[in-house]
Every structure is written in structure tokens, then in C-alpha cells.
Amino acid sequence: MSIPDASAKATNQHALPSYLNSERPGPWGIYLQQVDRVTPYLGSLSRWVETLKRPKRALIVDVPIELDNGTMAHFEGYRVQHNTSRGPGKGGVRFHQDVTLSEVMALSAWMSVKNAVVNLPFGGAKGGIRVDPKTLSRGELERLTRRYTSEIGIIIGPTKDIPAPDVNTNEQIMAWMMDTYSMNEGATASGVVTGKPIALGGSLGRREATGRGVYTVGQEAAQHLGIDIAKTKIAVQGFGNVGGIAAKLFAQAGATVVAVQDHGGTVYKASGLDVLALLSHVSEYGSVLGYENAEILPDAQFWGVDCDILIPAALEQQITAENAHQIQARMVIEGANGPTTPEADDILHERGILVVPDVIANAGGVTVSYFEWVQDFSSFFWSEDEINARLVRIMREAFAAIWQVADEHRVSLRTATFIVACSRILQARELRGLYP
């Protein structure tokens, strides 16, 4: 049976609306360029590629709240479901003063890619509110979260779209979201969000999951390059949930963590930092600043540090055309989302430095979120050992699939990741067919 090529015809007749245009700068434009780059590798599935260039659904909501001083304030909120061909939407909620619809659209699309790469039965979604949460009291934050949840309640749900924490949102905010949705539904719906407190159906192992995933793909990549982890020198930018845990696991495997940079500064020790001591210093003082058993480096020197593995695990756009030439590492494992600019990516590729892209490297978090959702559905909770073992297996399988595609097509791991993910999404799209 031949499947009618409806999307191709529709595309030719209707150009992308201006707000979806790839020439617009910013994250959505970058995402569209990534899709264009992999389209030639998608074979006959490429006729469905337009579906990746348009979010399935984008909801803009007004979130009015009463402030503690009795006045009203309005905030703009979003929930975007980029693609649900492989399952319900899944992706975090960000509270930040710079959140825009374009950013949320791109983040939702990257969630489609991430979920498909690790083969989770989820599509991609993301949400956000344009607000600086530091300016709100706890009561205002709770009212904001509850009203936002209620407004997006028409499109989220345990089998429709499952939010999670992202920048400036945490377990408490997930608890308020779960409670609000449950109150509106008249039944406790613990599976509506992940990243909840353990007492409300959260999962063991979630906190460490992203760092553990970074470490696991690092191990796999090292093996392919013939590098013995125990003999490596590691530099980590960002020493929080992702970078701190990854550094701890690499150190436990015998690696020498030579440099750590956070928002406070950069510490360096050629013979190896004591990662556990540094972690307890950070939990006491909030930053690596003031840690005594190390040299302090000017921040810009971090990128040129003599190391084998570099792990950016802080912010976007840290490895740029300006510092990519200084990098000494043999591989970069992207713990953060979007830490490497496209220009820097090309420079690293030309210099033969392997980049393990964010959409696979930091997928450990959403993988354990998936475990949380599964446990909530069955109301049966797994041990931490079981969770870690399943996480490691999924990350290894995903990495092996990507490596094979990169090898076959002689492309970067980033392009290979997009080939694997986009093929899976479009295969589901094709099998489901076009409704009506």
C-alpha cells in the first residue's frame, strides 16, 4: 500500500509562517538548521520532515496573580507540544525573565529529539513563564505555579503531556503542579508531572540521574577512543546537580579531576582535586570560591586547561568560536543544554575533538523521569540499584546506536543523534498516518 504524500504537497503550497522561519536568529532558527542538516540522511521518511519544523500545539496563557501587597500582576506563560507521534509530550517548565515563545518551541523540539534518542515512549514538550522568580515571595510563587498549571491544564495530563522541573523550578513546584491538576480533576494524578518529592511518588535516583548518564556516555565514548578512564584528566564547568555528580563518578572511577569552574570562579590542581571535599565546600559556601587546597585560575584560562575530557555542565553557549581553539581535551561531553555554539562545534569537529552532544549526554534525567512515570502508573516503586542499572543499560544502548550511525555515514555524533531521533519520530508519524 502506498502512503499518500500529503505533507509534501501541503509544504509546497504553504511556506512556513514568519515566526517559524529558520532565518530568524535564536534557538528555534538553530534547531531548524539542525533538521535541515539531517534531512538528506532520512531517506523516504524525509517527505514527513515538515512535521518536525512546526510545533504540533503551542499554548500562550495569561497568568494573573495577586501580589502580597494586594496589587495584581500578569505574567505570560507557555506550553508547547512539539511532537507527540511517539507518545505523550514530555519536558520541563522554566521560570525565567528571558523566556520567549521561540525559546520554548526550540526546547520542546530538542525534547522530541532527546526522548527519541534514548527511545522513551514520549514526544517532546516544554513550558515556561516569563518571570524572575527571585522577585516573588513563596506565596506568590505558589499562586503563580497553581494558576499556570490550571491554565495549561487543558492540554497536560498523565497520558497527554507530563511537565518536569527545569531552570528555577524544583520538587516543591512539581508538588504544587501535581496538587493543582489533581484538585481540578477530582482525583490524585501523580503521573501528571515528574521530578516530584519522593513522598509524592518521586523516584529514587532522579537527583543523580543526569550526572550518572553523563558519566556513562563518557565511559562508552572513552572505550571507543581507546582511552582508559582511570588515566584521564577531567575539567568540569558547573558543579551543581549535573557537573558535581558527574565529577564525583569520574573521580570514583579513578580519573583525576584537575579543574572545576562555577559561577564563583575556577579552581585547579594538576595532581587532582579532592572532589568530595570540594562538594562539601560548595554545599557549605555556595561556590568553589574560597576552597583552599587548589590554585585559583582566571576564568578564561579554564578552557585551555590540560585535560582529556571536558564537561560543560553549567550554561548555554559557553564553548564559542573564541575559546574552541584553546581546548586541549580529546572529548567534550555536553552535560548542559546547548553549551557549544554551532561555529565552535565546527571548530571542534575540524580539530578532531569528539563532542558527545547534549541530547544524548544529559538524557539520563528524562530517562529516570520516565521511570518515575512508569512507577506512578503501577504504584509500585523500584530500588535505587534497579533504577541505576536500567538507566545505564538505556544510555549504553542509545550511545551504541548513535556511534554506529556516525560511523556508517561519517558524520559527527550530533548529526548522528539527529538522524536516529528524527528517523524514529518520522517512522512513528508515517505508521500513524495523517488524520483525517
**Applying CB under 6 A, which residues contact ligand NAD?**
210, 237-243, 261-263, 313-315, 335-337, 362, 365
- Alpha-carbon gap, residue 210 to 391, rounded angstroms: 10
Number of helices (H), then strands (E), belonging to the chain: the values are 13, 12
* 113 vs 411, beta carbon nearer ligand NAD: 113
* 267 vs 428, beta carbon nearer ligand NAD: 267
154, 216, 188: which is closest to 362 by C-alpha?
216
- Alpha-carbon gap, residue 172 to 181, rounded angstroms: 14
Q: Is 126 an active-site residue?
A: yes
Three-state SS at 336? coil
Minimum distance from CB of 365 to ligand NAD (Å)?
Answer: 3
First to last CA, the chain: 17
Q: Are 367 and 213 in contact (CB under 8 A)?
A: yes
Minimum distance from CB of 408 to ligand NAD (Å)?
Answer: 28
Minimum distance from CB of 110 to ligand NAD (Å)?
Answer: 10
Q: Cβ-closest residue to ligand NAD?
A: 240
Minimum distance from CB of 335 to ligand NAD (Å)?
Answer: 5
* 63 vs 361, beta carbon nearer ligand NAD: 361
- φ/ψ (deg, to 5) at 366: -70, -25
* 241 vs 423, beta carbon nearer ligand NAD: 241
C-alpha cell at 381: 516503586
Strands (E) located in 276-412 = 295-297, 309-312, 331-333, 354-356
* 51 vs 102, beta carbon nearer ligand NAD: 102
117, 112, 110: which is closest to 88 by C-alpha?
112
* 153 vs 312, beta carbon nearer ligand NAD: 312
A 10 A CB-CB count for 33 gives: 12
Strands (E) located in 201-330 = 233-237, 256-262, 265-268, 295-297, 309-312
Q: How many CA atoms lie within 13 A of 227 on its CB side?
A: 21
Inter-axis angle of helices 27-38 and 413-432, nearest 10: 80
- Alpha-carbon gap, residue 178 to 373, rounded angstroms: 13
Catalytic residue among 126, 196, 233, 248: 126
Minimum distance from CB of 353 to ligand NAD (Å)?
Answer: 20
Minimum distance from CB of 302 to ligand NAD (Å)?
Answer: 8
As annotated, the active-site residues are 126
